Amino acid sequence: MKNWTIGKRVSILCALLISFIVICGAVAVIGLLNISSNLREIATRSVPALEELSKIQGGVLEARGSTLMMAVPGMGNVKALQKQRMAKIHAYVSANFKSYESGITDPQDRRQFDALHTAVEQYFAMCENFRVLATDNKVPDAVNLYSTTGHTAYTAMKKAMAAEVKFNNERAAQQLAAGSRAMRHAIELMSWLAFGAFLGGCILAYIVIKGINESLRHSVNEVAAFAQQARGAADQLAASSNQLATGSSEQAATLEETSASSHQISAMTTRNAENATAASRLMAEVDTRMTEAGTRLEAMVESMSAIDSSSRKIGSIMKVIDEIAFQTNLLALNAAVEAARAGEAGAGFAVVADEVRALAQRCAEAARNTSSLIEESVTNAKVGTERIEGVTSVIHSVAGHAARVRNVVDEVSAGAQEQDRGNQQIKSALEALEMMTQTTAATAEESAAASAQLQAQAKAMEAVVIDLSVLVQ
């Protein structure tokens, strides 16, 4: 319970008091329900039962009077209507019997009701016999019947009626007594509960208030100690804040000078990076041009090789032409020999053979000349190809050196750019540090002001602690 909050303690106290009130209310409601049940039983059963018994008794008395009137001389008109009158009385009594019977729940009530009903029916049967005798002018016999059988039936009816009335009166008295007992018990229980609630509430209130006072007293002592510590800490914080503000101002001035120097270095590094980037672009262009020249020389070498191959093919063709010319010359000689043998008949053919031989000789000579030219062209093409291959080798070598130079320039450019980024980072770091220093200086000044406020609040807290101490003592 020592660790409970004040709100929890008060809530539990209120909950207990409310519980006592609810219990008292429940007891009162239960008592009222019991009383209501008993009164309802009296109102719905006992009182109506007594009323119905009274009606039955009234009907029997009316039947008795009407029956005795028939024994009086000169009552002829009464005798004529007696049968109808008795039928109405009997129906009236029977209706009340049925109404009473519908509410019977007790075995004793059932037995007494049956005895009463039997006695009344016997009495009405005697009355009917009396009416018949009186109507037949047998009055002495009728009087004798009434004095014997009628008296016995009427006495039994009165006895049974008295028993039923007594039973219903006793039942009503029991219900009333039960209601009174329920009310008395409810009042006693509510009184004890109210006393217990009052006593328990006082005890709980004392315990809760005592616990709250002890908790508040302990809290006040702790707050007092904390207020003293807070005041000492505020004094130390104020001194530290003043020193921090002075140091931050000096550091801000130094960082401002360092930042200016860093700006100059950053500008120079940026220019170097730009120059290195331009040199890298130029070397890339030179490398591209050298690669293009090498590609074109390789294409030229391939073209010279194709020319050499074509020249060799032409030489082969010229050899074929030379052989054809030689064969043609032989054929022309054979034709001339055959023409000479023919004499005059072959003279014309001999002329043609001479022309063919001359043409074959010219073709052979032209083929030899062309072969010489082709061999010379092949030789020249071979020499040109060798020279171009040498130039191509030189260009490839130059391109390789240019690529290495480009790599070196790229590395220099990358280093310059990296150096520029490093300088930019240093510049940004210095600017951030300068801003942080300025912020620190401003914060130190604010801390000094806050320390002053904290000192004032600590003094105010000490005053509040004194007031609380007065309340809980």
Q: Residue 96's pLDDT is what?
A: 92
- Identity (one letter) of the amino acid at 29? V
Q: Residue 439's pLDDT is what?
A: 81
Q: Which of 74-78, 153-157, 204-208, 274-278 has the lowest mean pLDDT?
A: 74-78
Residue 318 · residue 370 · CB < 8 Å: yes
452-463 mean pLDDT: 74
Q: Residue 262's pLDDT is what?
A: 66
Helix axes of 151-342 and 47-69: crossing angle, nearest 10 degrees: 130
Q: What is the per-residue pLDDT across 438-452, written as a single tens digit (0 to 9) for each?
A: 787 677 677 767 767
Measured CA to CA, the distance from residue 187 to residue 28 in angstroms comes to 8
User: Is the pLDDT score of 74 beyond 70?
Assistant: no
Q: What is the per-residue pLDDT across 187-224, written as a single tens digit (0 to 9) for each?
A: 888 888 888 878 887 887 788 777 777 777 777 677 77
Enter the tokens of residue 232: 């000492």
Which among 318, 304, 463, 442 has a CA at the least distance from the CA of 378?
304
Query: What count of other Cβ atoms lies within 10 Å of the Cβ of residue 227?
Result: 20
Q: Residue 275's pLDDT is what?
A: 75
Tokens 């930019």 — which residue? 424
Determine the distance from the C-alpha atom of residue 121 to the mean position of all C-alpha atoms in its chain, rounded to a whole number.
Answer: 83
Q: What is the per-residue pLDDT across 279-332, written as a single tens digit (0 to 9) for each?
A: 677 777 867 877 887 787 778 778 777 777 777 777 778 777 778 878 887 887
Three-class SS state of 97: helix
* Better-scored residue on pLDDT, 466 or 272: 466
The secondary structure of residue 146, as a DSSP letter, is I
50-58 mean pLDDT: 85
Q: Residue 324's pLDDT is what?
A: 84
- SS3 annotation, 339-375: HHHHHHHHHHHHHHHHHHHHHHHHHHHHHHHHHHHHH
User: Is the pLDDT score of 173 beyond 80?
Assistant: yes
Measured CA to CA, the distance from residue 257 to residue 246 in angstroms comes to 18
Residues sharing a CB contact under 8 Å with residue 62, sequence separation 6 or more, in sequence order: 89
Tokens 């519980």 — which residue? 19
Q: What angle do CA 269, 271, 275 make, to 5 degrees?
A: 115
Dihedral angle of Cα 163, 167, 172, 173, to the nearest 10 degrees: 90
- pLDDT > 70 in the chain, percent: 80
End-to-end CA, the chain:
21
Domains in the chain and their CATH numbers? 6-213 (1.20.120.30)
Enter the tokens of residue 189: 């229980």
Determine the distance from the C-alpha atom of residue 77 to the mean position of all C-alpha atoms in its chain, rounded to a whole number.
Answer: 99
